[in-house]
């Protein structure tokens, strides 16, 4: 039966493929594909883990005291029976040998299949037995966790037989886990939770694959290997579509691919408006390897290197100075002399470190992580770590043009502490005879307090970059990762636009460079408006560069500047801006 689900569209395009479920589990496990040659070794890992659990339960049963209730022994017998049941053991091995899942993923996938079967049983007693399946699976997963796999992870976008493309379905995917899937080239993904500007959505756009988040029941309603259509334009997920619907979406998919190919031809054209205004189009990257994609897409530099992704998915072991230096240097060298702006670590809120990491317990249990110890606040609370990162960045500056960007800065005390930390890092390198060059220091404008105290920031910083995602979140008091209030997250809100316009005007007036590096930069709906405000630098995901460049090439900034004032003064800026541009388009057509 075909069904439709609705969520938030976060990455445009159409994806069609078979569902791959990342099943939820109380045990956090890795999900990745293995090389076919290593399937026997992975099956052996699974078998060893199962045998370990069998031995544990057998020992527990043998050591039961005489006064133990007989039901306990019976329960242990049920768990032993399940561990030897082909529905669990053989089927789990099938996921490894045929689909090339790692052992942990195979176990969670088969557990999900069995739990669904139990849910559909009419008998209440049998239906409740799914808890036994989950408990047994959790024991096996814990056993697997004690012997970390050293097998290489590989990339697949199709089934083992080379037939059907794959799409990912999950309750949620952490940003760091998204990066693990980055090389897998899944054709698209859908999650139960999340919002348009959650970091999971942002990484999806950087992967340039169609995605829908906040689909509520997707991971419960979709089954392994169901055919799915993910409409990243409308936020619709179609499960097991009819042939007519499938053909319609295949046509849309072909049209989208043709449009992308046409836009791709613009990538190396100079980005200049109709009235001769050059506009700097930069790229946002998460890892050094993304720099090559940025160059290929036509970026003239990196406007935002999110260094926090070097700190995540590491089981609490933070990268040392040399490891960070090598990563930053790799990105700088890959950009071949073009500028690279490295943001200091922005940990917190929807980008937590692993549970064992420093300070994790402190902010994991915070009442509101978005307002807690994150970004520059966390860095300043760990001065040794912060200076270590600054030294690594400064060392990389010896290999190209590097700029440092400080996230979430708002207080004079934070500015002075940051300047002091940077000076100490410089002095330490100088004393050690390690080469570095001067770097420009910038502030991210993502808190209303920062936007309203621009004169203070401009005294101390060389440039500013507007992080629209957090600026909107904090201005409107909206948790951007919470789909329950996603409809209130409004980039067109008059307060948001007025703050952005004021920041751009004040930076331009002071002769300091200003850019936008949030999601608004890559949204063509805002390109003309930002240009009309006086912005001449935008940083976005490489996949969005060509679309934005097309708008830049067609823009007349002199005309746009005249229309910004009425739009900002309006109670409904979006409607006012749209109406003014439609009238201009009509006049152009009649002329």
Active site residue ranges: 199, 517
CB 18 within 8 A of CB 228: yes
CB 60 within 8 A of CB 80: no
Nearest-CA neighbor of 175 among 320, 397, 346?
346
Nearest-CA neighbor of 461 among 446, 445, 442?
442
CB 515 within 8 A of CB 539: yes
Q: Where does residue 255 rank: exposed (0-12), middle (13-18), buried (19+ CB within 10 A)? A: exposed
Nearest-CA neighbor of 179 among 203, 154, 150?
203
CA distances from 7 to 76, 146, 173, 215, 518 (A): 42, 37, 15, 4, 22
CA distance 48 to 577: 64
CB 392 within 8 A of CB 428: no
CA distance 551 to 555: 6
Give the DSSP H/E element, type plus range, for residue 388.
helix 383-396
CA distance 472 to 465: 14
CA angle 417, 420, 426 (to 5 degrees): 145
CA distance 349 to 42: 35
Nearest-CA neighbor of 305 among 337, 339, 279, 273?
339
CA distance 323 to 166: 34
C-alpha neighbours within 13 Å on the C-beta side of residue 284: 30
CB 149 within 8 A of CB 42: yes
Residues 6+ apart with CB under 8 A from 139: 53, 56, 57, 79
Strand order in the sheet with 3-6: 3-6, 236-239, 227-231, 14-22, 166-170, 189-191, 211-213, 8-11
CA distances from 5 to 9, 231, 240 (A): 12, 10, 12
CA distances from 521 to 28, 258, 500, 556 (A): 34, 24, 12, 18
Q: Look at the alpha carbons of 269, 271, 273, 276 in this order and tell me if their dihedral is positive or negative.
A: negative
* b/e sequence 473-512, b meaning 16+ C-beta within 10 Å: bbbbebbbbbbeebeebbbbbbebbebbbbbbebbeeeeb
Q: Which residues pair with 91 in a beta bridge?
A: none
């Amino acid at each position: 039966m075909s069904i439709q689900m609705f969520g938030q569209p976060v990455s445009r395009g159409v994806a069609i493929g078979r569902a791959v479920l990342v099943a939820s589990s109380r045990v956090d496990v890795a999900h990745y594909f293995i090389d076919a040659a290593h399937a026997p070794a992975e099956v052996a890992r699974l078998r060893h883990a199962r045998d370990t659990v069998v031995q544990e339960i057998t020992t527990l049963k043998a050591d039961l005291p005489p006064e133990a209730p007989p039901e306990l022994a019976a329960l242990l017998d049920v768990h032993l029976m399940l561990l030897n049941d082909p529905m669990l053991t053989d089927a789990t091995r099938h996921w490894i040998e045929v689909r090339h899942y790692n052992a942990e993923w195979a176990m969670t996938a088969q557990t999900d299949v069995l739990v669904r079967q139990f849910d559909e049983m009419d008998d209440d007693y049998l239906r409740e037995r799914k808890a036994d399946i989950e408990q047994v699976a959790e024991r096996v997963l814990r056993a697997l966790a004690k012997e970390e796999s050293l097998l290489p992870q590989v990339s697949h976008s199709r089934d083992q037989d080379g037939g059907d493309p794959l799409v990912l379905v999950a309750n949620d995917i952490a940003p760091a886990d998204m990066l693990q899937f980055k090389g897998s080239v899944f054709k698209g993904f859908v999650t139960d939770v999340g919002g348009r500007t959650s970091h999971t959505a942002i990484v999806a756009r950087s992967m340039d694959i169609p995605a829908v988040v906040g689909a509520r029941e997707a991971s419960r309603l979709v089954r392994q290997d169901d055919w799915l259509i993910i409409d990243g334009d409308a936020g619709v997920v179609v499960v097991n579509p009819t042939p007519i619907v499938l053909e319609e979406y295949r046509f849309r998919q072909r049209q989208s691919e043709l449009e992308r190919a046409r836009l791709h031809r613009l990538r190396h054209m100079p980005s200049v408006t109709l009235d001769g205004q050059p506009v700097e189009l930069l790229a946002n990257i998460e890892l050094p390897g993304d720099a090559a994609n940025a160059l290929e897409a036509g970026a003239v530099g990196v406007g935002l290197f999110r260094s926090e992704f070097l700190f995540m998915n590491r089981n609490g072991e933070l990268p040392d100075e040399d490891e960070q230096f090598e990563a930053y240097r790799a990105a700088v060298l890959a950009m071949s002399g073009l500028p690279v702006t490295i943001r200091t670590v922005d940990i917190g809120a929807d980008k937590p470190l692993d549970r064992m990491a420093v300070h994790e317990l402190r902010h994991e249990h915070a009442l509101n992580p978005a307002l807690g110890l994150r970004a520059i606040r966390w860095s300043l609370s760990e001065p040794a770590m912060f200076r270590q990162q600054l030294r690594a960045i400064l060392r990389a500056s010896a290999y190209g043009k590097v700029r440092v960007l400080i996230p979430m800065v708002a207080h004079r005390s934070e500015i002075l502490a940051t300047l002091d930390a940077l000076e100490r890092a410089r002095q330490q390198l100088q004393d050690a005879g390690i080469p570095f060059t001067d770097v420009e220091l910038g502030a991210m404008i993502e808190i209303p307090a920062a936007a309203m105290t621009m004169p203070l920031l401009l005294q101390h910083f060389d440039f500013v970059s507007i992080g629209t995602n957090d600026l909107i979140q904090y201005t409107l008091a909206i948790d951007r990762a919470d789909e329950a209030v996603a409809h209130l997250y409004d980039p067109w809100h008059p307060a948001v636009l007025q703050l952005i316009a004021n920041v751009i005007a004040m930076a331009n007036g002071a002769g300091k460079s200003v850019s936008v590096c949030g999601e608004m930069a890559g949204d063509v709906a805002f390109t003309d408006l930002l240009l009309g405000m006086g912005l001449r630098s935008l940083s976005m995901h490489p996949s969005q560069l060509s679309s934005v460049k097309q708008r830049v090439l067609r823009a007349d900034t002199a005309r746009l500047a005249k229309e910004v004032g009425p739009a900002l003064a309006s109670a409904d800026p979006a409607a006012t801006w749209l109406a003014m541009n439609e009238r201009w388009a009509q006049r152009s057509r009649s002329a």
